[in-house]
Amino acid sequence: MKTTTAKRVALSWLMCSTATLAYAQDDTAFDLGVLRIQTSAAQAVLGNDEITETEIEQRNPATVADVFAGESAITASGGAPIAQKVYVNGIEESLLSVTIDGARQNKSAFHHTGNVLLDPALLKSVEVSAGLAPADQGPNALAGSIAYTTKDARDLLDGDDPFGGRYTLSYGSNGQGFRNNLTLFGQNDGFEYLLSGTRATGDDYDDGSGSTITGTRADLTDYIAKFAYTSQSGKRLSFSASETTDNGLRASQGGFIRPDFADVIGRDTVLYEALSQRTSYTLTYEDENPSGIWAPYAQLSYNEQAMDVGSLYGVNKSLSGVLSNDFTLRNGSVNVGVDFFDESAEGYDNTVSPRSSSGREELSNIGIFAQARQDLSDRISVSYGGRYDWASFEGADGSDFDASGASVNGSVDYVLNDQWTLNAGAASSWGGYELGEAALVNFRTPWNYDGFTTSRANAVRLGLRYDSGPWAVKGALFDTEIEDINAVLPSSGARGAVDDLTSRGFDGSVTYTGARGFATLNYTYADVQTNDATTATTAYYLGRPVGHIFGFEAGYDVTEEWRIGATAQIALENDDTDVSLDGYEVVNLYAEYKPRRMENLNVRMDVQNLFDATYASRSSDGLGLANVVPLTEPGRTVSLTASISF
């Protein structure tokens, strides 16, 4: 590398910061309470939103798209789980740092499929940072981050109960079929375990017009095993392993599956038993009851995603880790640490037996970081930090690239009066290199790396929030610019081709919370452009032209036993694209019953797409293209779910 001097400077800065913090403190533990900059209200205006365990349970998700029902800033494409992608303010998740239980997820195996296959059966929370990811969130957080957290045994057990279990069965009309989940968990003398399995099967669904959408049937299997030991002093060591597989029959044209399209004009569609499989292993150590200045955290994880897409087969592999310590200050804290990853993307010719490798790319990165969070006064709370990364890349032709870069961020929460608060934040993030699409490495033509470079993102956000009694209102202007994004899906093998991406707009919400219920209306406008033109609906690994999106969510406790609720999404017509994108309105309702005499039983009925609308999600691929039949979403679907705990 040609970064020796920069590396020495950065390492010296990290050691000096750590030494200063240690010198400034003794071993006295401070009761900080909750830092105002860390409250959910402050973070939401800054674009750092959390979908809580309660919200997830209210949405009763069967797929990752269901997790974000009622949201406007976070949208997802539809169809079978193999095809679903998540977008934040119109920017695809491949430009965000994505983690599951802290473990980095590699992605980009095939452009017609989703990036991170996930079963939400045990999902506890989702934290989303739009543009302003903190330095300790990890590398490559160009447009922010998405952090999924799953439940542990202790989240499902009451007090010192040694054993428990939960079985959930659901059945839905319109192809939704059966979904079974069994979870067993226990604890004893600090040891705990959790074993869970999910199986979902169904048929191809019909859209609102009654047309059957070929290749959309559910065929998902998920296994999770989690083990942990927590000492009496709060030292916790945990290990988790999971495997999620979607291998149903998917629509294929010309030798490649396209589960993100309903059909391709002029090409015959056949069914192919495709495969999307994610396997993960994670080992974590943390001190949950720290004293003095030491609150260490360490994690090592391995993640692999395989894709059988017809004539091609792609595999992404990722080994990653982090070592950090959250130092306590009298007015806050600072998290200091080091992280790394070592990843690869390899493609295979799937038409021969055994399949043969067509090429491989490798990417490694090591970074150091520090992120401070402090209450400077009764009115001013801040978060600020930086990181420095060193990256090494090896292309499929054997070429080597080395580079390094710094990232900085800062945000402030300023209390104007008892009701109004001003928030502002900015970040400049070094993105490093990106692996190319695994399945297509050297496909049809050898890849070349002329002009191959690193990317950088600059983001700003300015917002206000109002909180008084039952009403909470927030709104923010945002601007995210990402420069020099190398071609993940190269044309004629030109990996050095670059694109610039911007997402500018506004997002906000109005919430009313009463004694027995709540209602929230979200609104987001995102003008997403690639190279100063409206982003296309097939701008893979970049974004989608989402335009104006409204999201709605409400829940009301009719009695102690009965709860009713709803979610909705409204997309206005988007005329900024070459072909105007139609607007749509979709409404979902549910009713939930928890009998007082059987507190361990929960019965729920959902009606999705109540008005049987025929529509394609604004985040879907290929909208407005002459040679593509868009993937429309399911028409009216009625499902019944029963869950019993023991």
**What's residue 107's pLDDT?**
77
Summarize pLDDT for 252-262 with one digit per residue, the tens: 999 999 999 99
What pLDDT digit, counting tens, does each position of 450-486 carry? Answer: 999 999 999 999 999 999 989 999 999 999 999 999 9
Q: What is the mean pLDDT of residues 42-57?
A: 82
Q: For residue range 233-248, what is the model confidence (pLDDT) as tens digits?
A: 999 999 999 999 999 9
Mean pLDDT of the 166-182 span: 97
Question: What is the C-alpha to C-alpha distance for residues 82 and 84, in angstroms, rounded to an integer?
Answer: 6
- In this predicted structure, what is the pLDDT of residue 25? 40
**CA gap 49, 32 in Å, rounded:** 22
Q: How far apart are CA 330 and CA 338, in angstroms?
A: 24
Residue 313 CA to residue 192 CA, distance in Å, equals 38
- Residues 219-238: tens digit of each pLDDT: 999 999 999 999 999 999 99
Q: What is the rounded CA–CA span in Å between residue 589 and residue 464?
A: 31
pTM: 0.92
Q: How confident is the model at residue 309 (pLDDT cuts 50, 70, 90)?
A: very high
Question: Does 28 have pLDDT greater than 60?
Answer: no
User: What mean pLDDT do residues 370-393 have?
Assistant: 94
How much is the pLDDT for 329? 83
Mind giving me the DSSP string for 599-628? TTEEEEEEEESTT------TT-TTTT-TTE
DSSP code for 574: B
pLDDT tens for residues 251-306? 999 999 999 999 999 999 999 999 999 999 999 999 999 887 889 999 999 999 99
Lookup result for tokens 């300015």: 462
**How far is CA 630 from its chain centroid?**
24
Above 70 in pLDDT, residue 37?
no
Tens digit of pLDDT for each residue in 581-614? Answer: 999 999 999 999 999 999 899 999 999 999 999 9
Q: Which residues is 2 bridged to in the sheet?
A: none
Q: pLDDT at position 160, please?
A: 85
- Asked if residues 249 and 275 have their Cβ atoms less than 8 Å apart, the reply is no
Phi–psi pair at 52, nearest 5 degrees? -80, 170
Rounded Cα distance, 478 and 506, in Å: 6
- Nearest CA to 367 out of 336, 393, 335, 340 is that of 340
Q: Does pLDDT of 177 surpass 60?
A: yes
Query: What length does the chain have?
Result: 646
Spatial contact of 116 and 307, defined as CB atoms under 8 Å apart: no
Q: What is the CA radius of gyration of the chain?
A: 24
Burial class, 533, CB count within 10 angstroms (exposed 0-12 / middle 13-18 / buried 19+): exposed
The answer to whether 581 and 624 have CB atoms below 8 angstroms apart is yes
- Which of 24-38, 158-172, 247-261, 346-360 comes out lowest in average pLDDT? 24-38
Query: What backbone torsions phi and psi does residue 159 show, to the nearest 5 degrees?
Result: 55, -125
